Amino acid sequence: MHQGDGAPAIEIRDLRKVYGDKAAVDGLTLTVPQGCFFGFLGPNGAGKTTTIKMLMGLAPPSSGSIHILGLPMPERSLEIKQQIGLVPDESMLFDHLTGGEFIEFVGRIYGLDRALARSRAYELLDLFELGSMPKKLIAEYSKGMRKRVAMAAALIHRPKLFLMDEPFEGVDAVGARLMKDILLDQVRHGATIFLTSHVLEVVERLCERVGIIHEGKLVAEGLMADMRGTAETLEDAFVRALGMENAAETLDWL
């Protein structure tokens, strides 16, 4: 039996990340059960990306603890990374590789042998409808295509947990639908998904649990139905959680 079986997929305790005298993440405590589709929401600069960077092992926390699949981060980071699939921000892609080459590269880094990595890479390209342009470089991809190739690469080693930073940003409706179907299928097979997103409609339709972060603190967390409460949409609940219902003002000359 694996050490992490039965443990929450993500367990964060009193996590802080301080830059100078400003806390980007301030005492975050959060548990994401295994097999859960979790949406992590917040306005710009709230601390979403800093949190996901700490989960990915890209930024060390100032204090607090992170356990992923029952293993402490960063002490067991290598084992953790082996079991997670990442959809990082676009700058982490290698622009001068083709989509197929990038996916194959990621597969090999996760320990797949070359032939298997290559065959899976081209199957994934077809699945994500990128197979018709095998020689196109990632540099030439549109934003949505870049997100698709990043997601395809995240799937190649069949991870138990996905960490996704804005996976639907810039993706068209068809692409988003395709990605959603694939992600839901992964959750049905027991995977856990932790994603940040600005697209609240997508989060509302996909996620069963949601957490809202504002100025580094978790201001709301729970099941989607509970979060929405009496509000008509998640957007209304989100704005209410942030206390910004009447925030909009206009300029005299505008």
Render the burial of 122-158: b for 16+ CB within 10 Å, e for the rest. bebbebbebeeeeeeebeebeebbbbbbbbbbbbbbe
Contact yes or no for 99/136 (Cβ under 8 A): yes
Residue 249 CB, nearest approach to another protein (Å): 23
Residue 22 CB, nearest approach to another protein (Å): 7
Residue 195 CB, nearest approach to another protein (Å): 16
Contact yes or no for 55/194 (Cβ under 8 A): yes
Hey, what are 110's tokens? 């996760």
Residue 122 CB, nearest approach to another protein (Å): 15
Nearer to another protein, 31 or 82 (CB): 82
Hey, what are 31's tokens? 């548990």
Residue 192 CB, nearest approach to another protein (Å): 18
Task: Please state, in angstroms and rounded to a whole number, the distance separating the CA atoms of residues 33 and 13.
Answer: 14
Nearer to another protein, 17 or 148 (CB): 17
Nearer to another protein, 117 or 234 (CB): 117
Task: Please state, in angstroms and rounded to a whole number, the distance separating the CA atoms of residues 218 and 241.
Answer: 10
Which residues contact another protein by CB under 8 A?
Answer: 18-22, 56-60, 78-79, 81-82, 86, 88, 91-98, 101-102, 105-106, 108-111, 137, 139-140
Nearer to another protein, 109 or 187 (CB): 109
Q: What is the dihedral of CA 9, 223, 61, 19, to 10 degrees?
A: 160
Task: Please state, in angstroms and rounded to a whole number, the distance separating the CA atoms of residues 189 and 185.
Answer: 6
Nearer to another protein, 167 or 209 (CB): 167
Nearest to 98 by CA among 146, 143, 144: 146
Nearer to another protein, 61 or 238 (CB): 61
Residue 138 CB, nearest approach to another protein (Å): 8
